[in-house]
Amino acid sequence: MKAKLAVLVCAAASALVSFGAIRAVTPVAWDGKPDCWQMKRHEGKLASIKKSGGAPVVFIGDSITHYWETKGKEQWARNFASDPRRAINLGTSADRTEHVLWRLTEGHELEGYEAKCIVLMIGTNNTGHFPFEKEPPIDTIMGIKRILTVIRNRQPKARVILTAIFPRGADAKDPKRLRNDVVNKEIATFADGKSVIWCDLSDKFLDSEGRLSKDLFPDLLHPNARGYQIWADAVVPLIDQVLAAAPDAVIPAVGPARPDPAAGGASVAATPVRGNNFWPGRYLDKRNEIVGGSGEYDLVMVGDSITHLWERKGGGGFELNEELKKTYSILNLGYCGDRTEHVLWRLTNGELEGYKAKAFTVMIGTNNGAKDVKAISDGIGRIVKLIREKHPESTVILMPIFPRGAKPTDKYRVGNAEVSKLAKKFADGKSVRWLDFNDKFLEPDGTLSKRIMGDTVHPTAEGYRIWWDNMGPLVKEIVGK
């Protein structure tokens, strides 16, 4: 799609960002009681900071960080208690991202001093304390991203060693481990080697088959003294690099490389890959909308910017959408620039959670560029399958990719038509209904008028009217109004 329009759509999405609905990104002070043990610990840490004048190295996290003071006490004393590191431990047992956010914003734990290095590891209690549908990975990832933003605002000169959530559970199939793996894969992309340095120690705790030993993690969650020594041995050289580095120096990541999205032979188009509209942006906006909504929708629309422009002010479908919202409750999950793999990532990691729907629409694939017709079709098939698995109560309206390019011979038009021909097989006429009205967009000679699609990709107001005139009767049949 054309870059200018995509930028406008993304900018509009970013402007809608707000906090308050999603637990993981909203500061929370534990149970709110002034005499809770967490508040007493917090007050003690503030007093220590005031007395010492702060510290060059700060550890932030949950019980895994907190227990440097118990299980890892000797290792802390040897490695971090004195100059030049002279670290302070701001880990609090049972903390989730929202609690860390409170401590750093309302609690002011990073204020009044200038740190050089901050070691951050958080998130295992987000994924461990709530079921997937209450805390999907996308929420935890956004919570960690917001913590990094807050740290940058409070401590602009400090570099953050962003540490992968430690392995938990006996083996690689543990459900909580798998959720943390999703989080780790994505937060690794937040590191730039300058303000944020990635540190993944997983390989130091696991055997070749991914098993976590009780000799290092007796409860398969928290390290013992040996585990803390392994952590210290790995992170001390990295901290020292940070302390000695010039402001513009790039510090390499530590740990194994992240796997290729297409590892194992699967095509990228059919493999979940996070898109670019992440932070701040439409992911957060849509998760807020879902979490703060009624939990029921008549229609959920899945796609790219063509779908997004139904609800974007100034988009071709905006006015019609406003009219439709008087009758239907609609959740728009269209994202500018998204390809099939990006939709797969969103739907896998949170956007199908927390609501029921009567109908879904799926129209996706034009941004894949018709480069691998079968793979794009397979990606569409996986999207439909995910929706059916998560929402068996719903009917999916599957549409071909809309016509693209002014002439029938346009390479994208031809390629997208081939994708659509293959994708049609995913419709069974019952739970998945095929709806093809592409010919309604075209002139008798097969050309695509700018009157219908101004840039020969995105519909105009007239194009969106054609869309609804052809889809509306099926929606009414499914929804019942």
Alpha-carbon separation of residue 67 from 61, 76, 83, 93, 430 (angstroms): 10, 10, 21, 8, 55
DSSP, res 113: S
Q: Is the pLDDT assigned to residue 7 strictly greater than 60?
A: no
Helix, strand, or coil (residue 262): coil
Q: Rounded mean pLDDT of 414-440?
A: 98
Alpha-helical runs (H) found in 261-410: 282-291, 305-308, 318-324, 340-348, 373-390
Give yes or no: residues 213 and 315 share one domain.
no
pLDDT tens by residue, 90-119:
999 999 999 999 999 999 999 999 999 999
Grade residue 21 by pLDDT with cuts at 50, 70 and 90: confident
Q: Rounded mean pLDDT of 140-154?
A: 96
Least confident of 91-100, 148-157, 245-254, 356-365: 245-254
Give yes or no: residues 328 and 474 share one domain.
yes
Strand ranges in 41-194 using DSSP code E only, listed in sequence order? 57-61, 87-91, 117-121, 159-163
Q: Is the pLDDT assigned to residue 258 strictly greater than 80?
A: no
Given 3-state DSSP classes, what are the helix, strand and coil percentages for the chain, each rounded to the nearest 5?
A: 45, 10, 45
pLDDT tens by residue, 307-320:
999 999 999 999 99
**H or E stretch covering 303:** strand 296-303
Grade residue 34 by pLDDT with cuts at 50, 70 and 90: confident
DSSP, res 268: G
8: in domain: no
Give yes or no: residues 226 and 360 share one domain.
no
Q: What is the pLDDT of residue 257?
A: 66
| Cβ partners under 8 Å of residue 215, min gap 6 | 224, 226
Report the CATH number that the domain containing residue 387 is assigned in CATH.
3.40.50.1110
Give yes or no: residues 213 and 325 share one domain.
no
Q: Which residue has the higher pLDDT, 259 or 70?
A: 70
Give yes or no: residues 171 and 309 share one domain.
no
Grade residue 20 by pLDDT with cuts at 50, 70 and 90: low
Q: What is the pLDDT of residue 3?
A: 37
Q: Is the pLDDT assigned to residue 16 strictly greater than 60?
A: no
Q: Rounded mean pLDDT of 396-425?
A: 97
**H or E stretch covering 358:** strand 356-363
419: in domain: yes
Question: What does the H/E/C string look like for 71-120?
Answer: CCHHHHHHHCCCCCCCEEEEECCCCCHHHHHHHHCCCCCCCCCCCCEEEE
Q: What is the pLDDT of residue 9?
A: 34
Q: What is the pLDDT of residue 235?
A: 97
Q: Is the pLDDT assigned to residue 470 strictly greater than 50?
A: yes
Give yes or no: residues 442 and 336 share one domain.
yes
Give yes or no: residues 274 and 162 share one domain.
no
Q: What is the pLDDT of residue 2?
A: 39
pLDDT tens by residue, 324-376:
999 999 999 999 999 999 999 999 999 999 999 999 999 999 999 998 999 99
Q: Rounded mean pLDDT of 49-76?
A: 97
Predicted structure pTM score: 0.89
Q: Rounded mean pLDDT of 194-202?
A: 96
Q: What is the pLDDT of residue 259?
A: 60
Give yes or no: residues 215 and 120 share one domain.
yes
- In whole angstroms, what separates CA 47 from the centre of its chain? 36
- Residue where a domain stops, chosen among 244, 259, 290: 244
Average pLDDT, the chain: 92
- The amino acid occupying position 97 is T
Q: Rounded mean pLDDT of 64-82?
A: 98
Give yes or no: residues 286 and 212 share one domain.
no
Q: What is the pLDDT of residue 276?
A: 79
Helix, strand, or coil (residue 144): helix
107: in domain: yes
Percentage of residues in the chain having pLDDT higher than 90: 87
Q: Rounded mean pLDDT of 133-151?
A: 95
Q: What is the pLDDT of residue 466?
A: 98
* Domains contained in the chain, number: 2
Phi, psi for 441 (deg, rounded to 5): -85, -15
3: in domain: no
13: in domain: no
What does the longest C-alpha to C-alpha distance in the chain come to?
A: 81
Q: Rounded mean pLDDT of 226-248?
A: 96
Q: 87: domain range?
A: 19-244
Q: Rounded mean pLDDT of 146-158?
A: 97
Give yes or no: residues 140 and 232 share one domain.
yes
Q: Rounded mean pLDDT of 429-439?
A: 98
418: in domain: yes
Q: Rounded mean pLDDT of 152-178?
A: 97
Q: Rounded mean pLDDT of 382-404?
A: 98
Q: Is the pLDDT assigned to residue 5 strictly greater than 50?
A: no
- Residue where a domain stops, chosen among 244, 278, 309: 244
Least confident of 230-239, 273-282, 433-442: 273-282
Give yes or no: residues 295 and 165 share one domain.
no
- Residue where a domain stops, chosen among 229, 244, 259: 244
315: in domain: yes
Give yes or no: residues 83 and 225 share one domain.
yes
1: in domain: no
